[in-house]
Structure 1
Amino acid sequence: MNERVFSSDNTAGVSPEILAAIVEHSAGPAAAYGADAVTARVTDRLRDVFERDLDLLVVSTGSAANGLALAALTPPWGAVFCHSDSHVNNDEAGAPEFFTNGAKLIALPGDDAKLNPEAVSDAVVKGRGDVHSVQPAVVSITQATETGSVYSVNELERLGSIAHDAGLAVHMDGARFTNALVTLGVSPAEMTWRAGVDILSFGATKNGTMNAEAVVVFDRTKTAELRYRQKRAGQLASKMRFQSAQLDAYLTNDLWLSNARHANAMAARLALGLQSIPGASVVGTPRSNMFFATLPEVMIASLLSDGFVFHHDRWEPGRVRFVTAFSTTEADVDELIAAMTSISLQLSH
């Protein structure tokens, strides 16, 4: 049976390899609270992946990863500069402010949900040393962005330089980190610490795990504080081996990369199909597994009544968002394209 859900990659199931790893590690005892062998192995594997020493905190949600990372980088009187469309700004119910004990998020502009370097340059010096103002502390970058766009390495390096030259730290919200990585075709190191990233929220749930995310700490001076914050936030799982087993399987045989490549390819297939449908158009250039499009209102209503699920009515009339996942098939995509084609033909008569 084809899936008609294109609303979010969070709706996808779990990669079979990851489920098998959970079962494998369910037999017998293992040390608690992250002192188990599989958590140690995942840490070592990520050190190889990122080509440097780092520390790892395994958590259950991306919001927890973002909140903990920002809390370790920002004092309560600090400012976090992020894009106005970013997830930390719009979709975490104030979790970053909560975890940081009140630090202020300052939303900045930029085309296609990417931070404008000039706006960042102006912001990171504003109010510095003024006791009446929050103090610039962090630049938070979303990779891939909330529109599915992807920062180039040069763009990341420029933002990293602006932040570090002004004495600020850099956080990367990588909920769709791997989708961006395979698009750029660069190494994880090039897209993170070599570009100036101090802490990465390493997303995996949208790309095949069940409930395993990670805080990857490149600035290891922050690790001790993060450990306490992790426990205080209720994110130090007693049976962490099951989350770590997911990440271990995720990294095995490049499953994380193949899942992301497939999801991206399905989005590209859908975007290509839309080009032949009168009245439909893709917004921007899809570079990950998510993109926006405009459709006739009557087509949107018809697709919804046919059981297709996607986000709409959040933006201007006719604007929709499509998201594909590692589990989306060519048949799923082709069924949606065929439905839009059929509706378009009906509208033309």
Structure 2
Amino acid sequence: MNFCSDNTTGVSPEILDALTQANTGTAMPYGEDELTAKVQKRFNEIFECETTVFLTSTGTSANALALDALTPSYGSIYCHKDSHINCDECGAPEMFCGGAKLITLPGPHGKLHPGELETALAATNDAVHHTQPAALSISQASEAGTIYGPAEIHHLSAVAKEYGLYFHMDGARFTNALCTVECSPAELTWKAGIDVLSFGATKNGAMNAEAIIFFNQKLAREVGYMRKRTGHLHSKMRFIAAQWDAFLTNDLWLNNARHANAMAQKLKCGLETIAGAELYFPVEANELFISLPENTLQALEDAGYGFYRWHDAGSPLIRLVTSFNTTEQDINGFIQTALEAS
């Protein structure tokens, strides 16, 4: 069993079925099809407002295109030092933005704090020698698997708005966060101050489906051109839309995320009883960061379990990620192997 990432899993059967159904007849290309229009309306319903949506197939393109809409080439994007846009996207946000600069900030449990943000922004000035504050980006859930509640987002938004920053949310695991917070999608986004959301489905059962959702629609005016220019406008867009249509039907998106979150909690409860085990962050979504004795890790690796050792190859800290199709048998087997080695 591979716990390295929720990207290691396959595709929800419902989504595969939807792709098969979409693979009949003809449809207009480049997003002019009926399924894409249907999905746009569905997003409006889910978020309780009029949105402008651009479908794409990768989280990196969703984040980079969204940030390009918010940030001039001489701008600064404020983010957590461990954020995905800083550590894992090979400079794509800076490239798409024409050279904008990421300003990284610390924060416990993978999250930004309004005080740190305000301190950093208060130290800026409008001298031509410096990049200018333009955007704030947070990950939901964070790279530590922790979650921003609506109040936390609102407090960050208040600081961002005071200094004229637009607010972006990297929602690769947005649904996992939503299921834990148990509020509405609107309350976790635009009602708390988010201007644009990169909404991910791929990690939660889709094949390759992401969406850039603009709540502040004036910011979306040029994104269509940039999506085309950068090679992320799919000619057969109906196959991206079909995934979203199935994902958002009959609560598949919520049920998948609830299951992944529940499996992470089960894993946590089993592993934290091991002598020497240490949880590094609260388990709030579907990621678990835990330190285990080296002999336990070796036994798990020898048994064929996949996971990442965090920071370096010799670290006792590992990351475990559960998915929409992780089974209780998978969890029980991992825990039993760990217990027997301890």
Q: By the TM > 0.5 criterion, same fold?
A: yes
Instruction: Name the TM-score class by shorter chain.
Output: over 0.9
Structure 1 counterpart of 2:219: 222
- SS of the equivalent of 2:235 reads coil
CA distance in 1, matches of 2:87, 2:220: 27
Answering whether residue 55 of structure 2 is matched by residue 58 of structure 1, we say yes
Listed one character per residue, the Cα deviations across residues 82-109 of structure 1 (whole Å, up to 9, x for unaligned) are 0001000000000001100100001001
Q: Which moved more, 1:194-203 or 1:297-306?
A: 297-306
Distance 2:130 2:120 in 1: 12
Answer whether contact 1:172 1:200 (CA < 8 A) is retained: yes
Give the alignment partner of residue 257 of structure 2, picking from 260, 272, 284.
260
Contact 2:15-2:247 at 8 Å conserved across structures: yes
2:320 to 319, 322, 331: 322
Deviates more, 1:223-232 or 1:278-287: 278-287
Distance 2:194 2:221 in 1: 18
Secondary structure in 2 matching 1:314: coil
Corresponding position of 2:233 = 236
Cα distance, 1:124 vs. partner? 2.4
Q: 2:13 is matched with which residue?
A: 16
SS of equivalent to 2:254: helix
Instruction: Give the C-alpha shift of residue 284 in structure 1.
Output: 2.4
2:108 aligned to which of 102, 107, 111:
111
Q: Of the candidates 174, 181, 187, which is equivalent to residue 178 of structure 2?
A: 181
Letter of the 1:258 counterpart:
N
> Secondary structure of the residue that 1:246 maps to in structure 2?
helix
The CA deviation at 1:211 is 0.5
Secondary structure in 2 matching 1:321: strand
2:220 match: secondary structure: helix
* Structure 1 unpaired stretches of 5+: 345-349
Does residue 154 of the first structure (1) align with residue 151 of the second (2)? yes
Q: What's 2:129 paired with?
A: 132
The residue number in structure 1 matching 2:41 is: 44
Output one character per residue of 1:225-265: Cα deviation in whole Å (capped at 9) or x when no partner.
00101101111100000000000000000100000000000
State the distance in 2 between where 1:291 and 1:52 align. 34
1:279 Cα deviation after fit: 1.9
Aligned-residue offset at 1:72: 0.4
Offset from partner CA, 1:31-67 (integer Å, 9 cap, x none): 1000100000000000000000001100010000000
- Following TM superposition, the consecutive aligned residue runs of length 4 or more in structure 1 with deviations greater than 6 angstroms are none
SS in 2 for 1:10: coil
Q: 1:347 corresponds to which residue?
A: none
Aligned equivalents of 1:221, 1:313: Cα separation in 2: 40
Residue number among 204, 210, 213 corresponding to 1:213 in the alignment: 210
Structure-1 residue corresponding to 2:117 = 120
Aligned residue for 2:222, secondary structure, equals helix
Q: Could you tell me whether the CA contact under 8 Å between 1:310 and 1:321 is conserved in 2?
A: yes
Partner of 1:102: 99
CA contact (8 A) 2:140 2:172 kept: yes
Q: Distance in 2 between matches of 1:210 and 1:143?
A: 20
Deviations 1:107-158 (A, max 9, x none): 0010001002111112224333111110000000111000100011110000
TM-score (norm 1): 0.96
Contact 2:310–2:319, Cα closer than 8 Å, also in 1? no
Q: Post-superposition shift, 1:317?
A: 2.6
CA distance in 2, matches of 1:284, 1:240: 39
Unaligned stretches of 5+ in structure 2? Answer: none
The alignment partner of 2:250 has SS state of helix
The separation in 1 between residues aligned to 2:222 and 2:238, in whole angstroms, is 22
Q: Cα distance, 1:224 vs. partner?
A: 2.1
- 8 Å contact from structure 2 (residues 280, 290) kept in 1: yes
> Which residue identity is paired with 1:144?
A
SS at 2:276 equivalent: coil
* Cα distance in structure 2, aligned partners of 1:166 and 1:136: 8
Q: How does 1:249-328 map to 2 (within 5 A)?
A: 249-315=246-312, 317-328=315-326
Residue aligned with 2:78, SS: strand
Out of 299, 317, 331, the residue aligned to residue 333 of structure 1 is: 331
Instruction: Determine helix, strand or coil for the equivalent of 1:34.
Output: coil
**TM-score, with structure 2 as normaliser:** 0.98
Question: How far has the Cα of 1:282 moved from its partner?
Answer: 2.0
| C-alpha distance after superposition, 1:206-232 (max 9, x if no partner) | 000000100001111122200101101
Q: Which moved more, 1:222-231 or 1:258-267?
A: 222-231
User: Cα 1:62–1:313, aligned 2, differ >3 Å: closer, same or farther?
Assistant: closer
SS at match of 2:178: helix
- 2:274 & 2:200 partners in 1: Cα distance? 34
**Residues 299, 337 of structure 2: 8 Å contact kept:** no
Distance 1:44 1:313, change over 3 A: closer
